[in-house]
Amino acid sequence: MAAMTTGHSSRADANRRRILDIALAELLRDPDASMDQIARAAGVVRRTVYGHFPSREALIGTLVDGAVEAVAAAHAEGRAGNEDLAQAVAGSVLAVWKVADRYRILVALAQRSVTVQGIRERLAPVRDACTELLQRGLDEGVFVSPLPAPALAYVHEQMMFAVMEAVNDGLLDAEEAGRSTAVTVLTAAGVPASLATALVAKLSD
């Protein structure tokens, strides 16, 4: 009986993951995709989708949770082992953008369903890591800002959201957005534009 239950639950988990992957692809294609459309694309009946996610908001909330986990992992990987603080900040932005670009439509959707406050709460660990990097940089004179590190971390976070929305609205090419954001984040932290541009170009090679 236990083996049957395990088999059933792993099949249910695989189904759930597949529905999430297809939902993300459908929402990227059509931000207003309904649960019916998602079920059809996944090749399941609507009841199956609702069995895993009681509402469209719950489905989007789960996708946002997955996006936040991916962003946190990318942020950690981007800054890992980088003693140069400006490079660590730029590396974390570039790494986050690679992941975030896949999820950028979710930001617009989540602002309608999960609320901005909900997203900000989910991103608290990433913001804490940013604050720590920025504080060290301010202490060592690598960064210069009239803002204290926690406030500067908020500014950086909002810049990322703003760039995602600019890409969604067709104002910026997605290919360029990661590098542009990294340079903008560094200049906002007081790094000269020429140095920031050279540093990001070096990391992007």
Mean pLDDT by 10 residues, the chain (205 residues): 54 84 85 88 88 88 85 87 88 86 70 63 87 95 95 90 85 88 94 94 86
Q: What is the pLDDT of residue 115?
A: 57
Q: CB neighbours (10 Å) of residue 48?
A: 15
**What is the b/e burial string over 189-205, where b = at least 16 CB atoms within 10 angstroms of the residue's CB?**
bbbeeeebbebbeebee
Q: What is the pLDDT of residue 15?
A: 83
- 117-144: per-residue pLDDT in tens? 677 778 888 899 999 999 999 999 999 9
Q: What is the pLDDT of residue 111?
A: 62
Q: What is the pLDDT of residue 8?
A: 58
Q: What is the pLDDT of residue 152?
A: 95
Name residue 68's amino acid: V
Average pLDDT, the chain: 85
The torsion angle over the Cα atoms of residues 75, 78, 83 and 89, rounded to 10 degrees, is: -60
Phi-psi domain of 190 (left: phi exceeds 0; alpha: psi -120 through 50; beta: other): left
Q: What is the pLDDT of residue 200?
A: 94
Q: CB neighbours (10 Å) of residue 55?
A: 11
Q: What is the pLDDT of residue 114?
A: 56
Q: What is the pLDDT of residue 79?
A: 84
Q: Which residues contact 198 (CB under 8 A, 6 or more apart)?
A: none
pTM, two decimal places: 0.71
Q: What is the pLDDT of residue 5?
A: 47
